[in-house]
């Protein structure tokens, strides 16, 4: 099960906090599946990837109740924590960084905290996409609900593509492989920088 986090509704669609939704939606499109099902307080779809069954999930509960949807789906399909991947934005990483991690705390992310609370564990893998921090005194909760600037859009598209690849590698080759192939990349660096 791969769950992308975000908030439902058109007003949130292009915001920093909806990066998880964008990854799942792009991946579903490339797999040719519709996120139609309304079960588990989510939009979801199922697919086969090289013989492996996957469930793509976008909780529609609003971010701070994401755990309710993730747990309902995991319980229904009997998905073990080791076969779960959560895709989300991360303010502690700069825009252009994608990091695959085995587990960890919530780091102030209300969606991740909700999943930890509902699942009773923090032992699920994540794909974190850096969105940076506000440069001014803007509160973080306002910052993550704002859209990216037009200058950032190109990097955002690359980040989404890399995150989709991270999800594919998690499914097909495992967590270690995904970590090794993704975590060293810095999409925000200009060509020629090292």
Residues with catalytic function: 17
Closest CA to 115 of 80, 67, 75, 68: 67
Helices (H) and strands (E) in the chain, counts: 6, 6
Closest CA to 59 of 110, 97, 99, 93: 110
Lookup: tokens for 152: 């950032």
Q: How many CB atoms lie within 10 A of CB 82?
A: 11
What is the C-alpha to C-alpha distance for residues 113 and 184, in angstroms, rounded to an integer?
Answer: 26
DSSP symbol at 1: -
Task: Reduce the DSSP state of residue 190 to 3 states and report it.
Answer: coil
């Amino acid at each position: 099960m791969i769950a992308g986090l975000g908030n439902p509704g058109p007003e949130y669609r292009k915001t920093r906090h909806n990066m998880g939704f964008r990854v799942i939606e792009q991946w579903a499109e490339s797999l040719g599946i519709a996120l139609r099902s309304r079960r588990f307080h989510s939009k979801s779809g199922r697919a086969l990837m090289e013989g492996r069954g996957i469930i793509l999930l976008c909780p529609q509960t609003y971010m701070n109740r994401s755990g309710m949807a993730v747990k309902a789906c995991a319980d229904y399909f009997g998905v073990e924590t080791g076969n779960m991947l959560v895709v989300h934005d991360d303010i502690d990483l700069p825009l252009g960084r994608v990091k695959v991690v085995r587990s960890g705390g919530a780091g102030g992310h209300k969606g991740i905290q909700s999943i930890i609370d509902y699942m009773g564990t923090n032992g699920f893998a994540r794909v974190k996409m850096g969105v940076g921090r506000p440069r001014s005194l803007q509160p973080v909760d306002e910052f993550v609900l704002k859209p990216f600037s037009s200058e950032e859009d190109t990097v955002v598209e690359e980040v989404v593509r890399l995150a989709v690849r991270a999800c594919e590698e998690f499914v097909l080759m495992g967590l270690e492989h995904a970590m090794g192939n993704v975590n060293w990349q810095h999409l925000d660096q200009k060509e020629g920088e090292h």
